[in-house]
Amino acid sequence: MRATLAIAFIVLFAIFSLQAASAASCSSWRSLCVKRARANNPAYLPDCDAKFGECLSGGCFTEGAKFGGATHCGLAKK
C-alpha cells in the first residue's frame, strides 16, 4: 500500500514538473496558474493575474508555495 502511494506521488510530481518546465513565457505560466487555482482553490485566481502583471514587467514568475514557490526568470514577456 505504501509503495503504491509513493509511486502515485512520484507520478503526480513528475506531471506537474513537466508542466512547469515547459512554460517558457509569462502567458504560459499564467495559464498553468489558472489551471492550478481552478483545481485547488478558485479564490486564488486573482493572484494569477497579479503574478502575470509582475512577470510582464520583470520577466519572472513565482509559483505559489503549494507548488514549491520557485521563481522562474528569463521568460518571454508575452
- Cα gap 45→65, rounded to integer Å: 15
pLDDT at 51: 94
| Residue at 44 is within a domain | yes
* Average pLDDT for the chain: 81
Query: What is the residue range of 42's domain?
Result: 2-72
| Residue at 38 is within a domain | yes
| More confident site: 66 or 26 | 26
| Residue at 19 is within a domain | yes
Number of domains in the chain: 1
- Cα gap 32→19, rounded to integer Å: 8
Q: Average pLDDT of 15-38?
A: 78
Q: Average pLDDT of 35-42?
A: 93
Q: Does 30 have pLDDT greater than 90?
A: yes
Residue 38, CA distances (Å) to 6, 44, 70 in order: 25, 8, 20
Q: Average pLDDT of 63-69?
A: 88
Q: Does 18 have pLDDT greater than 50?
A: no
| Residue at 53 is within a domain | yes
| Residue at 78 is within a domain | no
| Residue at 68 is within a domain | yes
